[in-house]
A and B are shown apart, each in its own frame.
Chain A
Amino acid sequence: MTLVELMIALVIVGFVLLAAFSSSTALQRGFGYTTAWSEGRANQTRLLDSLAVDLRNATKIAPFPSPSPSFLPITLTIPKRYTAYRSTGAAAGEPGTTGSPTPVPTPSTIISRTGSNIKYTDVNKQIIEASTIDVYYALSADKTKITRTVTRIGGSVSSAGASRDVATFPNDSPTVRFPNAKGPTVKFSSNSPTSIITSITNTQDPDYLDPDRTTKATLEDTVFLRQLSTQLSTQ
């Protein structure tokens, strides 16, 4: 092998290695983008699903500060409908839960009153707006996590402060908005909305890959305020 041949071979190998490295970097970057995006979307979806479950059950939603880039923290007030909770057996959402669970969950006493509303009451048979559960969604101190905290108000069972992380957005602070919410509070009234738009926006790209990129992704859905609307229909 002559020196010329050797030089030619080295140049070719150099090009091949350069191409391989470039491809590898691009693949890695693309892989990182798609992973970050899908993780961000999964967190968005999970947060939206969690909010949707609570929004459907809520009878009061507040506050809606305006203007604000984010409507968090927000508190959803849900009637405390049960005086008894099972401590054993399959849970709601478990396959062992049937249409006739044993023991049967005990609804609180109901009271009809003006306008044919049903209000769920505590054992004292009082009409208890206070007998509710507050579900509190808030950003964590470092602005990257959204937590859901439950506070039971009244009743004999205390579980104040039970909480869990619902979603994590490591790249930046997410924005959660309710674009069609009017006023500081959504609650039962003759002009209550029957649905609420929930919009979640965050940066899906990891900064370490390309700090200059600020691509935002928004997941938006309309949630039917089932309980609030049911109250409306009974007026």
Chain B
Amino acid sequence: MKQSKQPNKKDASALVTVILTIAILSLLAGAFVSNINNRRLTVSQASAWQEALIAAEAGAHEGMARVEQSLVQNGQDLLPANIANVAIATPLTHEGEGTTTASARYSLEGNVSGYPGYYRIVSTGKVDLPGGQFLSMDGRDAVVRKLNLNDTVSGAPLRTATRTVEAWLQPVYSGTGSAGLRTEETITLNNHNIFIDSFDSKSGSRSYIDPISLQGGLPYPAGNQNTGMGYYNGAPDYIRAANVSTNSNSLSGGSAYIYGDAYTNGGTLQTVVGTGNIQGNIYDDYYEPMPPVYAPTWTSGTYTYGIPVTTTNNGGRTTTSYQTALNLKNNSAATITGGTEQSPARYQVSSVTLSSGGKLTFAPAAGSNSGYIELHVTSGGITTNGGGNGDGAILIQKGVNVKMYVAGNLEFKGNSLTNVNQTAGSLAIYGINPPTGTPQSFTLGGSASFYGTVYAPGAALNLNGGGNGGEFVGSLAGLTATLNGNVQIRYDESLGQSQKDTITSFKLASWFEDTRSWPVSGDFKQDTNKWLRPF
């Protein structure tokens, strides 16, 4: 019969030793794993926090795209209404621990603070946090990154990292862009007597008052030998805003004097030449879209087809007829009167030809000292030959604001346009883009002053100076630009604030992260007196 072995005290001590060893090793392993897990949480939470910013910026970019896409018809009337709290179209998927999606919601708010055309975009990106309801190594990580580790806050189902960015979009009006002269393609300045400077007609300190007429808001007189050019670009402000920009890489400067910066898109020493007299900087990373101009879509009954022309026969009898292809010559004249700003007087003709003293006058509304007129030239363009000193073939009377939409070519010769207002903002000429392959030219010449803006993204822009110089006050934009002779462009910086022109694009005016913080119930036990403050 086999008897069981009596328990040995040595066996028991060995067991205790083994258990103790295992326990110690387990504690060590546990501490090690805990330490590693904390580090993993720190890295993962920091990573999620960074991704939340990417998501928030994606939402802001989608909002910007949504606004930009509205610019399909002369940028007018199609801007999106306010949009509240929409999700981005496509969540940003990724591989990650604890989360596979970064999402964002954004809001659009138009006409911010009463400023037409401005948009404010607020976008919040969110990424779920991995792990449980635990801080990582240091509670300050959650404070700096404002992590939410509490499931109950605001009923949120998950622990999250969220970040909010706010972007402000500023409209770019056709009258200004970011330059006094800008083009899609080549700019050619053919003379060192070409001067481009700037002033601010809305600024008392940076504009000139004519001592005789007491008219203010003028550029400083050019003077003999162009001594007055650049007057408001020097001391004390040194504002070099008379920029010249092209979306191409080609700028032939002709040693012209430019009191601003020159921008090209990839310009090189071979394609950007003659820049010795540029007073600002030269950049090669410029691009600013130039949306096309479409023919206005006026509804029937809101405009007059043809321009009334009154003639007197030999018997002294006057008759009025509406010319749909306006052709004024031999000192014949026509006058069109304006409407209100809300309901401008609209006229449509196929072409305008003025010669031999023919004169077209834009006058205020009867009994009023102001008027708003829009003229749509549907195909044949505008040609003027000039009407002598002081009585140009086109006369814009005091108080009248004019918009011209011109299909076809435009040619102003001699002193063929007089804008009595002497403000660039009172005349806007738009060149309707021609069909693909059809050339279009806008030629402005003469030795008098032109006050207005030209935006013709499909037209070759030609500016020709006269004997003492052709002065163009305002801003100019075309497909290409060629300047010959003594040309002075006086860019009016206040056009950048005009709200009367067409919005051609938007640009960022501000972009920042909303880092404010407030006390919330159920937060994670931090000293609220120290960190839960604005910013």
Contacts and interface: CB of A to CB of B under 8 A. Distances in A.
Contacts, number: 205
Interface stretch (A62-70, A114-122, A175-183, A207-215): A114-122
B85 A99 contact: yes
Given A159-B533, A233-B508, A95 B154 contact: yes
A164 B531 contact: yes
Given A39-B137, A100-B122, A159 B534 contact: yes
Interface in B502-526: 507-518, 520
A91 interface: yes
Contact of A110 (B118, B156, B518, B520): B118
Contacts of A112: 115, 170, 496-497
Given A39-B137, A42-B137, A57-B513, A135 B530 contact: no
B507 to A, nearest CB: 6
Interface in B473-511: 493, 496-497, 507-511
Q: Chain B contact residues: over half helix, strand or loop, or mixed? A: mixed
Contact of A90 (B154, B241, B532): B154
Contacts of A159: 533-534
B281 A87 contact: no
Contacts of A216: none
B168 interface: yes
Given A86-B518, A110-B113, A152-B534, A190 B140 contact: no
Given A45-B46, A105-B514, A100 B148 contact: no
Contact of A89 (B178, B281, B518): B518
A92 interface: yes
B42 A53 contact: no
A227 B112 contact: no
Given A99-B105, A99-B106, A118-B168, A92 B533 contact: no
Nearest to B518: A91
A150 B84 contact: no
Nearest to A54: B515
A157 interface: yes
B358 to A, nearest CB: 40
A85 interface: yes
Interface in A66-93: 78-79, 81-82, 85-93
A107 interface: yes
Contacts of A150: 533-535
A35 interface: yes
Given A42-B137, A109-B113, A93 B508 contact: no
Nearest to A39: B137
Given A91-B516, A92-B146, A112-B496, 8 more contacts: A56-B513, A90-B520, A91-B146, A93-B162, A98-B124, A115-B496, A116-B170, A164-B530
